Amino acid sequence: MRTVQIAVWTVIFLALTLVVYKYLLNPQIVVTPSAATLDTCPSRWEYDPETKLCKPNYTTSCKPFDPTTITTVTQACRIAKACGTNWSGYCN
């Protein structure tokens, strides 16, 4: 009988521990996007190694640009939105 009681209390303690961990402590990983995690060029653009510029693969008024000048995700998204595209899924 003592073994059953220990097993029941162990299950109860484990369940309480998991509930406290999930709903009170709520551990999370926050990923902050940075320019280093972006692709070299926006979607539907390609990098030209000769000129070292990103060039569009579609008709647009946007001009080719040097991707090394992009230092923030905000800058990248501003360019991508102005050109009607996306950049690594960050600029929705």
Quick one: DSSP state of residue 31? -
pLDDT of residue 65: 94
Tokens of 37: 């995690």
pTM of the model: 0.62
Radius of gyration in angstroms for the set of CA atoms belonging to the chain, rounded to a whole number: 25
Residue in the structure block whose two tokens are 């551990």: 27
Residue 35 reports pLDDT greater than 90 = no
**Rounded average pLDDT over 22-40:** 84
Question: What pLDDT sits at residue 31?
Answer: 76
77 confidence band (pLDDT: 50, 70, 90): very high
